Amino acid sequence: MPGPARRRTPSPQWLLLVPAFALITVILLVPLGQSLVRSAGSPDWTIQHYQTLFTDGVTLRVLARTAMTAAMVTVIAFLLGYPYAYLMTRVGPRLRGVLLVIVLIPFWTSVMARNFAWIIILQRNGPVHSFLEQFGLDIVLYGTVGGVTIAMSQVLLPFMVLPLFSALSGIDRRLLLAARGLGSHPLRAFWKVYWPLSRGGVVAGLILVFTLSLGFYVTPALLGSPQQSLVAQLLGQRTTQLLDFAGASALGMLVLVVTLVLVAWANRLGGTISAIGVVAATRTKDQP
């Protein structure tokens, strides 16, 4: 690797950070900075573009729909993720490894392959529709917010399971045994002892999944409908079709700020960024 090899003996260690910083700055920070300037300074300093977001009638409705969808995704991910993470802490190392690999599968599955699969599953005369028809229900989820919710929950479940698993595996189960020994019913012991101890991981997982679902673009674009668009679709539409760069930048900044605040909060609660610390890090976590 030429980068580190060029290191000169007397130079301070931090010089090694320069290339990465240059890349991130030019490709991410400068465009985001320009976006901020554009949203508040074209042509003069103004908050007009932000005002428009809240007064044009469309944006607020889309934001509300996005928040509702994100909330549904979060609830589903929690209801499915908690038992899964809990069981992961209870089984032996070998089975835990298998469960972890299964969690990571949505990460591996190509974005487009996964969305294509959901189109097939949810479309008219697809497996889900045919199944529901047998009960006399004519429900097509493709092209609805419901379908988007189901597909998004599947992708975001790992972001619930991984922080939960890292929180739950830190809980001393002897406390449960102690509660049981003192005569507590298992459910009561769980509710009074285990659940409060797991709450940090739960809140971190909830915030993380909610945050990530705010920015989904491909899934709502392919599985949802233009009549029920989510904020990312609106953002794309304003940029490429309406060429309303200032308006799109203002909306983008709003999404970015909400996301970063929520992530910072989740991170303070559970060290989540390192927990998702992406797949690479989780590989080493299967034997805590």
Partner 1 sequence: MTRALRDIQTEAGETTAPRPRRTRRRARGVDPIPWWLTAIVILVGLYFILPTLIVIPMSFSSASTFQFPPKGFSLKLYENFFTNPVWLTSLRNSVLVAVLSATLATVVGTAAALGLHNLTGRLARFARTVLMISIVTPAIVIAVAVYISFLKWQLVGTITGYVLAHAAIAVPFVLVSVTSALGGFDPKLLRASASLGAPPHRTLLRVTMPLISRGIITGAIFAFVTSFDEVVIALFLRSPLFQTLPVQMYNSVTVEIDPTIAASSSLVVTAVTIICLVLQFVGSRGKTR
CA 155 vs CA 148, 216, 251, 271: distances in Å: 11, 10, 24, 21
What is residue 45's DSSP assignment? S
Q: What is the DSSP string of 170-219?
A: TS-THHHHHHHHTT--HHHHIIIIIHHHHHHHHHHHHHHHHHHHHT--HH
Whether the Cβ atoms of residue 235 and residue 248 lie closer than 8 Å to each other:
yes
Signed CA dihedral, 239, 120, 152, 155: sign only: negative
For 241, counting Cβ atoms within 10 Å of its Cβ (0-12 exposed, 13-18 middle, 19+ buried), the class is: exposed
CB of 187 to partner 1, least distance (A): 11
CB of 199 to partner 1, least distance (A): 20
Closest to partner 1 by CB, 115 vs 166, is: 115
CB of 281 to partner 1, least distance (A): 5
Closest to partner 1 by CB, 33 vs 196, is: 33
CB of 50 to partner 1, least distance (A): 15
CB of 202 to partner 1, least distance (A): 17
Closest to partner 1 by CB, 3 vs 196, is: 3
Whether the Cβ atoms of residue 98 and residue 87 lie closer than 8 Å to each other:
no
Closest to partner 1 by CB, 227 vs 287, is: 287
CB of 56 to partner 1, least distance (A): 18
Closest to partner 1 by CB, 48 vs 80, is: 80
In angstroms, the CA 114 to CA 155 distance is 9
Closest to partner 1 by CB, 201 vs 238, is: 238
